[in-house]
Chains A and B, each alone.
Chain A
Amino acid sequence: MLFDPIIACTAVLLLFAGARAVSARVGHPPWASPVLLATLAVAVGLAVFGIAPARFAAAATPLRWLLGPALVALALVIFDNRALLRAEARPVLIAVIGGTLIGLASAWGLAVALGLPPLLRAALTTKTVTTPFSVAIMTAVGGPVALAAAFSVLTGVIGALLVPALFRWLGIASATGRALGLGVSAHIVGTDWQMRRDARAGGLSALAFVLAGLVAALLVPPLWGWLTAA
């Protein structure tokens, strides 16, 4: 049992590296998100070797624990793009904070309107923020971590696939507006897409997804009781 964590964490890291290589090989399409591919590979591995998910979850605790330090490290993303923020602080902050609020409110409101079960409703509140933040938020409030993580990953993939086409179709002229919109709505997956096309726009998307995560992390936990009230 002592070796469980070493094997599990090494396997996940290797599979993630492999998933990244596969994603690069097929040209980084949003649907080949390395997180998604690595998760599928681990799920297949657990099924093939007959390992109970609970045993894997316990063994992978060190990796899960590293998410806290990695979230701290995301400060680097804001720091590296501080020039873009300084250049137009007011419109960028209004767009990102306002966009995040609309993202949070629309997901929660629509989940209530559709009459979704409470657990799904709770998990959907953080779909608009990137997975490390949604996991941190759900862990802090005792919400559905796995569902929230899945919704964040799916949202990133959906956004990176559809948002650029939507912007093109509607003729949104502002390059900065498009980059911020993609960052807030499709977080890391959208940022990755943007970064491969235009470094400045990619920086704006990166800034947007970290700031959006911060807004949600400061706002959702205090409102949790009210958001999840029947």
Chain B
Amino acid sequence: MRGIWAVVPGLLLCVGLALAGQALAAALQLPVPGAVLGLLAYLLLLLLVPAARHTRAGAALLVRWIGAMLVPALIGLHAALPLLAAAALPVMLLLVGTTLVTALATAWLYRLAGGRG
């Protein structure tokens, strides 16, 4: 039972910050996803408030199951399959090409900026 209660503070805090972020983004009409504001707020809390570290177990639980939360979005893909099939080759080339370019550019920029690791 103790294991279950350990995740409660983190779950509540992350839900609260996600809702607060959404409310803030809507109120100020900020062009960013509200949850991202919640992420930044949570990072500040973790850095500045030692007690916030008690929320670790709940937050880690959410991160571990993030993949399951993406399944409903991916199931929505069935409607776009004809569009995707019609452009499969150029899309595949684009995905492969830009992924390799991005990886190389990142590694190269690290060196260029004086990274030694």
A residues near B (Cβ < 8 Å) are 12-13, 15-16, 20, 34-35, 38-39, 42-43, 46, 53, 56-57, 60-61, 63-64, 66-79, 82, 87-88, 90-92, 94-96, 98-100, 102-103, 106-107, 110-111, 114, 116-117, 119-120, 124, 127-128, 131-133, 135-137, 139-141, 144-147, 149-151, 153-155, 158-159, 162-163, 166-167, 170, 172, 174-178, 180-186, 188, 208, 214, 217-218, 221-222, 224
Contacts and interface: CB of A to CB of B under 8 A. Distances in A.
B25 to A, nearest CB: 8
Interface string B85-117: 001001101111111111111111111111111
A229 B94 CA distance: 20
Contacts of A170: 104
Interface in B14-62: 14-15, 17-19, 21-22, 25, 31-36, 38-43, 46-47, 56, 58-60, 62
B103 A72 contact: no
B113 to A, nearest CB: 4
Give the interface residue-count category, chain B.
35 or more
A20 B94 CA distance: 29
B79 A146 contact: yes
A39 B68 CA distance: 9
Contact of B94 (A88, A114, A133, A214): A114
Nearest to A137: B33
B15 A69 contact: yes
Nearest to A145: B73
Given A70-B66, A102-B102, A116-B90, 15 more contacts: A20-B67, A39-B74, A53-B79, A66-B65, A68-B35, A73-B58, A74-B63, A88-B115, A98-B109, A124-B91, A149-B77, A153-B74, A158-B95, A174-B111, A177-B107
B83 to A, nearest CB: 6
A147 B102 CA distance: 20
Q: Mostly helix, strand, loop or mixed at chain B's interface?
A: helix
A72 B46 CA distance: 12
Contact of B33 (A120, A139, A176): A139
Contacts of B34: 68, 140
Contacts of A151: 91, 95
B4 interface: no
15 contacts: A12-B72, A39-B75, A57-B76, A60-B75, A61-B72, A72-B62, A75-B42, A75-B46, A76-B59, A92-B115, A120-B84, A149-B76, A151-B91, A162-B96, A162-B100
Contact of B110 (A100, A102, A176): A176
Interface of B: 10-11, 14-15, 17-19, 21-22, 25, 31-36, 38-43, 46-47, 56, 58-60, 62-63, 65-80, 83-84, 87, 90-91, 93-117
A83 to B, nearest CB: 12
Given A163-B99, A178-B107, A117 B83 contact: yes
A94 B68 contact: no
Nearest to A210: B39
Contacts of B99: 128, 155, 158-159, 162-163, 185-186
A72 B18 contact: yes
Contact of B98 (A128, A150, A208): A128
